[in-house]
């Protein structure tokens, strides 16, 4: 017994003495399921392919169907709909007193940095520095033109900033975002850090340097397809630079790196007329979500299930993590790893993935809830079953036409079983009504 007690005390001491890991969270914008080489993409992604081979891949990782909601879920640990955020959002997304992921980590000794796209408040007064980031740089608004760094015409078109001060710079947006990350890593001391890198790539409008377009495989033809492939390759190189910076700083082995996308790939017109004219190639974006059904904006798998990797050398084993997870899980997960314990109930909808990621076990079965743009559609997933409901105007979210899919048997959602599984549809409608009601109960003034 004495030996056992001595071992337990010794083990507890090791856990307490273990250094807090650094955390790098990379989020790509509009990256399709099959846009990466490790999912059969036609644009070479050697850095990501190497990372994937060394990582734990979350094969059923869900996000919102569009950008701002996903970012809200990551920053809060809650479903984005709790804040009324279901569409791209230029106003203030979260109340100032929200305990965010960076503010929680900062409270337990982390240095925090965002370099890239915020899109949770497009004025400096609503920027990242007001929500827990020590340092912030990039686009306060949404995806920007790669050279002029401007968002859509209107009140929020001038959005490029450093620590809340609007600035003007030259250079391609992918290079600038990566450079800021690399330089910030190089300046770190022994304190743990959280670095959030939400690239604007591969969001439209794409327009790549000729040097990158020239590297695109000859089999890819057409102006927009070649620029889109070049954008993917350019992004892949930027991710490689960040990994190299961690290695150079001697911080790679004690860094958890997460790679994901904010939603599925898009097929929208690249030369969007809402953006200031910068001679963008004309044609539709050629993202691929194959073999998944749907695109950005959809509640089908192609809109909400994205390539996701978790990498921590010597700590996480490479392989596949098959349990369904959602973007709102990352705040509880990273907080658990960092040793942050909330002083009050933060009403997280997400759970900590860490025990399961670490030992390779499955997560307990639970309900996942996803809302589409403007609450016009909602989905719930429980076990292999997924219900999508299109909201009827003036009716509750759970009352519209429904589609039902068994993802274990039909992962690409080819067969709607709603007509054959009436009891399952009703069961999930009831679950949807309950979780959707919590949205209204959770609404807070900003």
> Is 119:88 a contact under the CB 8 Å cutoff?
yes
Report domain extents, the chain.
21-359, 376-442
Contact between 166 and 172 under an 8 Å Cβ cutoff? The reply is: no
Q: What is the pLDDT of residues 41-81, one digit of tens each?
A: 999 999 999 999 999 999 999 999 999 999 999 999 999 99
Average pLDDT over residues 357-375: 94
Residue 426 has pLDDT above 70, yes or no: yes
How far apart are alpha carbons 78 and 405 in whole angstroms?
Answer: 25
| Tens-place pLDDT, residues 289-326 | 999 999 999 999 999 999 999 999 999 999 999 999 99
CA neighbor of 265 nearest in space, from 50, 43, 105: 43
Are 35 and 351 in contact by the 8 Å Cβ rule? The answer is: no
- Establish whether domains 21-359 and 376-442 are of one fold: no
Identify the architecture of domain 376-442 in CATH. 2-Layer Sandwich (3.30)
pLDDT, the chain, mean: 94
Determine the Cα–Cα distance for residues 89 and 430; give it in Å rounded to an integer: 29
- Give the CATH number of domain 21-359; options: 3.40.50.20, 3.90.550.10, 3.40.720.10, 3.40.50.970: 3.40.720.10
């Amino acid at each position: 017994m004495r030996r056992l007690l001595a071992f337990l005390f010794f083990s507890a001491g090791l856990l307490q003495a273990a250094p807090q890991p650094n955390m790098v969270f990379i989020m790509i914008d509009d990256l399709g399921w099959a846009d990466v080489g490790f999912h059969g993409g036609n644009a070479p992604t050697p850095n990501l392919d190497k990372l994937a081979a060394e990582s734990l891949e979350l094969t059923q990782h869900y996000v919102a169907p569009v950008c701002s909601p996903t970012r809200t879920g990551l920053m809060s640990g809650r479903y984005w709909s709790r804040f009324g955020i279901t569409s791209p959002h230029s106003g203030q997304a979260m109340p100032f007193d929200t305990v965010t992921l960076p503010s929680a980590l900062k409270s337990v000794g982390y240095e925090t940095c965002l370099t890239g796209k915020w899109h949770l408040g497009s004025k400096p007064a609503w920027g990242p520095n007001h929500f827990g980031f020590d340092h912030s740089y990039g686009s306060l608004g949404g995806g920007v033109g790669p050279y002029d760094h401007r968002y859509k015409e209107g009140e929020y078109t001038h959005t490029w900033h450093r620590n809340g001060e609007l600035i003007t710079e030259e250079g391609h947006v992918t290079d600038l975002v990566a450079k800021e990350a690399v330089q910030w890593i190089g300046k770190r001391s022994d304190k743990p850090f959280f670095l959030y890198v939400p690239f604007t790539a591969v969001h439209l409008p794409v327009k790549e340097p000729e040097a990158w377009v020239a590297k695109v495989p000859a089999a890819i033809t057409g102006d927009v397809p070649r620029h889109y492939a070049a954008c993917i390759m350019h992004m892949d190189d930027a991710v490689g630079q960040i990994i190299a910076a961690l290695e150079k700083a001697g911080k790679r082995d004690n860094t958890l790196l997460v790679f994901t996308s904010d939603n599925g790939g898009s097929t929208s017109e690249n030369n969007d007329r809402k953006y200031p004219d910068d001679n963008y190639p004309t044609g539709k974006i050629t993202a691929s979500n194959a073999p998944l059904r749907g695109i950005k904006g959809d509640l089908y798998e192609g809109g909400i299930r994205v390539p996701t990797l978790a990498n921590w050398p010597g700590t996480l084993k490479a392989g596949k993590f098959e349990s369904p997870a959602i973007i709102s899980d990352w705040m509880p997960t990273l907080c658990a790893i960092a040793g942050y314990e909330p002083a009050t109930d933060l009403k997280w909808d997400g759970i900590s993935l860490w025990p399961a990621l670490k030992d390779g076990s499955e997560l307990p079965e639970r309900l996942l809830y996803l809302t589409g743009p403007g609450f016009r559609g909602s989905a719930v997933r429980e076990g292999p079953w997924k219900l999508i409901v299109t909201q009827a105007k003036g009716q509750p979210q759970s009352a519209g036409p429904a589609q039902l899919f068994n993802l274990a048997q039909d992962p690409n959602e080819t067969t709607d079983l709603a007509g054959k599984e009436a009891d399952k549809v009703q069961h999930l409608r009831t679950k949807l009504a309950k979780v959707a009601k919590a949205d209204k109960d959770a609404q807070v003034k900003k």
